[in-house]
Structure 1
Amino acid sequence: MLNFNKNICYAVFGNPINHSKSPKIHNFFFKKYNFNEKYIRICASKQFFLKEILNFFENGGKGANITLPFKEKVFSICTVLTKRAQISGSINTLKKNNIGIIGDNTDGIGLLTDLKYKNLISKNDNILILGAGGAARGIIYPLLKFGCNIYITNRTIQKAKILSKEFLKFGYIKYLKLNQLHKNKFQIIINATSAGISDHSSLVIPSNIFNQKTICYDMFYGNTDTNFMKLCKNLGSKKVYNGIGMLVNQAAHSFFLWTDIFPKINDVFNFLKK
């Protein structure tokens, strides 16, 4: 089991995790708001993940973020779930309190906050989500609540079908097979598959759904353009974004859950640029 210093009270758990910028963001927040605490990355064991999370909280951990591939696997250790976590079926934020462990999901509200901040989203927009896993689950409800129409496609279409059925009561949502995509017009295309960080895409996307006005948003990020971003640019899209804005905004909502302080995100954007 891992051992922790007493001032390491926050961490992000994932596998892989070396690419994560969450420590830079949260340590910036902690320093700015005068908390003498640290936030680290933890590459969790896929076999003993839940034991490692519980060990973290038993040794002074106060809060944690959860990323791939664990977002749908932490429900069993939560005492309380927020409405966002319950609806999404996915957890990216944990908080320890005197009752137990609170499970929340700040991914969707983080994405929506970033899309609004960048003036990229309007009510009634048609949004295509690529992927039907935990990353997709976390963002659907806020987008439906905002008033957008959601379309989901996935290499295994049955997963997209199940997901669309789960969220149908919250707004307009439909699953599409890959060979049906060209019949529709999308204002925003969001990559919620790990193709954003892997060497190849598991989806073959029709090129004719892209044009210069298509907004392409990869939930993942790297130091250079992701494979999805390169594809979108090659197919003519002029508005192509990675997930840094989403990461910063979901981090701000996580920080608020932990500390009751909502940080100024412009400050951290400027910090990351430097």
Structure 2
Amino acid sequence: MSLLYCVFGHPIHHSRSPDIHLAFARQFGLDLRYEKREAPLDGFAESVAAFIAEGGSGANVTVPFKQQALTLAGQVSDRARRAGAINTLKRTDAGDLYGDNTDGEGLVSDLKRLGIEPAGANIAILGAGGAVRGVLAPLLAQQPKRLVIANRTVARGEQLAQEFSDLGAIEAVAPDALSDAFDLVINGTSASLSDELPALGNVSLAANGWGYDMVYAAAPTAFMRWASEQGGNSADGLGMLVGQAAESFYVWLGKRPDPEPVLLQLRKQLSA
């Protein structure tokens, strides 16, 4: 009997999660079904309950249900609690739900795949929304030398800095107050979805620095083009997508898939 998994979202037609997880399953010879399920905006809890009743073993959760998923899980990992959101649900042996958030691990694993070492680095993060909140704890665990959040509404950045202050020092500034050279600048805003450049102030990249866009696209985003114009390196968030999926797969099944061939295949599909 095949194991049943899915991804919940609204909308969900664009999701690449089935391709990713089925490819992971093939690496281990597992019989696994993975579906896209579009839950009604006012019916997420009922959709999850119905899925579990059908024998569902676990699910990914994407926009706009990540925060709501917190209320469904009887057990919640520390990183999900810190993120204030869940992207991975697992049915436990006792029959209740365990919730986790693998977004930050996906980012860190992709940075390391690219040869970017967060430890001891000067890092700037653009934005202070849910995407940024989800990656802060794993990023701080790498012990960067400096971490600055630049957000138009400074108070939101300051709130995050305060919430995560026990894990490391975070500065919060307005984008126009950024004037330093950073080893790594991460775009956590939605600007790239419309191929716009996020507010950058006078920020620059240090020698061999990187601009990392959490959005992925078929062609370099405006932010990635900015990084290249700076003489730096750039990457989009496709590797983060595959990395967080690999961590979800491990949470469900205790097996760590190799993300590299799956990432290469997705990149080929994206540029076709």
Q: Could you say whether these structures have the same fold, taking a TM-score greater than 0.5 normalized by the shorter chain as the test? A: yes
Quick check: 1:60 aligned with 2:55?
Answer: yes
Percent sequence identity is: 37
Deviation, 1:237, is 4.4
C-alpha contact (below 8 Å) 1:253/1:262 kept by paired residues: yes
Matches within 5 A, 1:84-233: 84-99=79-94, 100-148=96-144, 149-182=146-179, 184-198=180-194, 200=196, 203-210=198-205, 213-233=208-228
Deviation, 1:273, is 4.8
Deviation, 1:81, is 0.7
C-alpha contact (below 8 Å) 2:176/2:202 kept by paired residues: no
Query: Using the alignment, how far apart are the partners of 1:23 and 1:85 within structure 2?
Result: 22
| 1:152-181 per-position Cα deviation (integer Å, ceiling 9, x unaligned) | 122322211111100001012111112211
Residue of structure 2 in register with 1:247 after alignment: 241
Change beyond 3 A, Cα 1:221–1:16: farther
Query: Using the alignment, how far apart are the partners of 1:136 and 1:14 within structure 2?
Result: 19
Query: Using the alignment, how far apart are the partners of 2:70 and 2:133 within structure 1?
Result: 14
TM-score (norm 1): 0.87
SS of corresponding position for 2:261: helix
C-alpha contact (below 8 Å) 2:7/2:35 kept by paired residues: yes
Deviation, 1:122, is 4.0
SS of corresponding position for 2:255: coil
Change beyond 3 A, Cα 1:198–1:20: farther
Residue of structure 2 in register with 1:77 after alignment: 72
Any gaps of 5 or more consecutive residues in structure 1? Answer: 1-5
Any gaps of 5 or more consecutive residues in structure 2? Answer: none
Query: Using the alignment, how far apart are the partners of 1:18 and 1:51 within structure 2?
Result: 20
C-alpha contact (below 8 Å) 2:21/2:249 kept by paired residues: yes
C-alpha contact (below 8 Å) 1:114/1:246 kept by paired residues: yes
1:37 to 32, 36, 43: 32
Query: Using the alignment, how far apart are the partners of 1:16 and 1:158 within structure 2?
Result: 31
Change beyond 3 A, Cα 1:223–1:273: closer
SS of corresponding position for 2:162: helix
SS of corresponding position for 1:69: coil
**Greater alpha carbon shift after TM alignment, 19-28 vs 51-60:** 51-60
RMSD over aligned CA atoms reads: 2.3
Q: Which runs of 4+ in 1 moved over 4 A?
A: none
1:19 to 14, 32, 38: 14
TM-score (norm 2): 0.88
Residue of structure 2 in register with 1:3 after alignment: none
